[in-house]
Amino acid sequence: MGIRSFFGIVPFRVRHGQELPYLDMRDAVPESPVKLTAGFLQEKPTELREKLQTFGFGLGAVPSDADTVIVSACDTDPAVTIQQHVFSLYPDTVARGLSLLQHIIQPKKIVLAIFPCQRKRAVSLAADLAEVAVIAPVYPNGFPQMLASMVKRLRSGVGTSMYVNAERLVAMTNAVETGAAPTTKLVSLSGSGFPQRKNVCVRVGQSVQSVLDSQSVDMAVVRKVVCGGLLTGSAIYQPAAIQVTSQTDGIAAQTEKELVRYESVPCFNCGKCTAVCPARLKVNHLARYAEYSRFDTCREYAIDSCIGCGLCSYVCPAHRPLLQLISFASDELKKGEAAV
C-alpha cells in the first residue's frame, strides 16, 4: 500500500455545493488502494466477524440475518461533514466495504444513503453491490432512525435493518485488510473561535484542548466549547480533560458573538415542538412529565422514539430546554433498567 504525504489543504465538495478545506494532522495517511481487490472474500464470514470484534467493531451484536444494511454517507449534524468527506476521500475503500458487509452479513439488500451532491460517485461505486438512496440534505435526515424509516418508505420489502456510517465502514475495511486497529478520527471544526472551518484527522485519545491548540485557537476569546455536533453535542468546560473518542464527530469553539443568552418561560402550548418533531411525539407533554420526574408516563408518551435531534428545543419560542429534559428522563429510565 502506498503512503503519500498529506500536509496540504485539499478542498472537497460538500452539500449545497459549498467547499471546505481538509487538513490532516498526521504526518501521512494511507493512500486509498484503488487497485486492491477484496482479498478478504477468501476468508470465512465467521472468522472475519471475529477479527472485527477484536478491533472493537461489535458486529457480534448485529443480527446475522439483518435484512437490510444501510451504509450512510450522510452526516447527522449541520456542523459536521465527516461522512460526506470520508466518502469523497475513500470511495474505493467504501466499495470494498460494501463487499465486506455482503460477505459477512449476507443481507438481502445494502442501501447506500447519500446526499444529492454525491450521486454520481455513489452510482459508479455501488454498481451491483448496493442500491443508492438519495436523501434530501435536510436536518435531521442523516440520523440512522430517519434513514431507516425513509429507506423503508422508498424500498418495499425492507425488514430489519442495520446502520453503518461511511467512516466506520472504511475503518472496518482497513482493519480487515491491514490488520491494524483504527487509531484516528475525522472531526469537523466549527465556530468563530477556529481561524477556519475545516475537517481534521486526529488521534483517538488526544485531548480536545490539543486539537484547539493545533489550530491556534485563542482561548481568551472562546466562551464555549461544544463536543459533538452543534445541535446534538454538549458543552464542555475542561477541554484539556476531555479526550477525542470514536464518537467525537465535531468540535465547536464559540466566541461571544455566537452565544445566545435567554431565559426560559413556561410553555404556552403553541404546539411548534410537536409540529417539528420527526418522531411525531407530543413533545410538550413529554417534557412536562420529564420535568416532574414522571418517568413511567414518559414511556407512555413514547420517549424511546426520540432521536435526540434537538429540533424541539430549537423552535420553542419559550426557550424550554426540551431535549435536555427528555434526555434526563431517558437516562433515568435506562439507569432504572440497568439496576433491575
Q: Does 78 bind ligand SF4 (CB under 6 A)?
A: no
Q: Does 312 bind ligand SF4 (CB under 6 A)?
A: yes
Q: Cβ 138 to ligand SF4, closest distance in Å?
A: 14
Q: Does 299 bind ligand SF4 (CB under 6 A)?
A: no
How far is Cα 161 from Cα 296, in angstroms, rounded to an integer? 28
Q: Which of 71, 113, 222, 281 binds ligand SF4 (CB under 6 A)?
A: 281
Q: Cβ 310 to ligand SF4, closest distance in Å?
A: 5
Q: Which three cell numbers mark 49?
A: 466477524
Q: Does 318 bind ligand SF4 (CB under 6 A)?
A: yes
Per-residue b or e along 127-139, where b marks 16 or more CB atoms closer than 10 Å to that residue's CB: eebbebbbbebeb
**Cβ distance to ligand SF4 smaller for residue 140 or 191:** 140
Total residues contacting ligand SF4 by CB under 6 A comes to 28
Residue pointed to by grid coordinates 403553541: 270
Q: Cβ 252 to ligand SF4, closest distance in Å?
A: 19
Q: Does 270 bind ligand SF4 (CB under 6 A)?
A: yes
How far is Cα 284 from Cα 92, in angstroms, rounded to an integer? 46
Q: Does 292 bind ligand SF4 (CB under 6 A)?
A: no
Q: Is residue 188 a contact partner of residue 80, using CB atoms and an 8 Å limit?
A: yes
E-strand ranges in the chain read 3-5, 10-13, 19-24, 28-30, 68-72, 109-114, 131-134, 161-165, 184-190, 198-203, 222-227, 234-236, 250-255
Q: Cβ 302 to ligand SF4, closest distance in Å?
A: 9
**Cβ distance to ligand SF4 smaller for residue 7 or 268:** 268
Q: What is the DSSP letter of 74?
A: -
Q: Cβ 262 to ligand SF4, closest distance in Å?
A: 12
Q: Select the span of 37-45, 82-90, 172-180, 276-284 touching ligand SF4 (CB under 6 A).
A: 276-284
Q: Does 212 bind ligand SF4 (CB under 6 A)?
A: no
**Phi first, then psi: what are they for 190, rounded to 5°?**
-145, 175
Q: Does 147 bind ligand SF4 (CB under 6 A)?
A: no
Q: Which of 66, 69, 283, 290 binds ligand SF4 (CB under 6 A)?
A: 283
**Cβ distance to ligand SF4 smaller for residue 222 or 326:** 326
| 3-class SS of residue 87 | helix
Q: Which of 208, 212, 222, 279 binds ligand SF4 (CB under 6 A)?
A: 279
Q: Which of 244, 320, 325, 329 binds ligand SF4 (CB under 6 A)?
A: 320
**Cβ distance to ligand SF4 smaller for residue 186 or 316:** 316
Q: CB within 8 A of 310, min separation 6: which ones?
A: 231, 232, 323
**Phi first, then psi: what are they for 22, rounded to 5°?**
-125, 130
Q: Which of 122, 226, 298, 309 binds ligand SF4 (CB under 6 A)?
A: 309
* Footprint on residues 239-268 left by ligand SF4 (CB under 6 A): 267-268
DSSP for 100-140, please give it: HHHHHH--SEEEEEE-GGGHHHHHHHHTTT-EEEE----TT
Q: What is the CA radius of gyration of the chain?
A: 21
Residues that bind ligand SF4 (CB under 6 A): 267-273, 276-279, 281, 283-284, 306-312, 316-318, 320, 322-323, 326
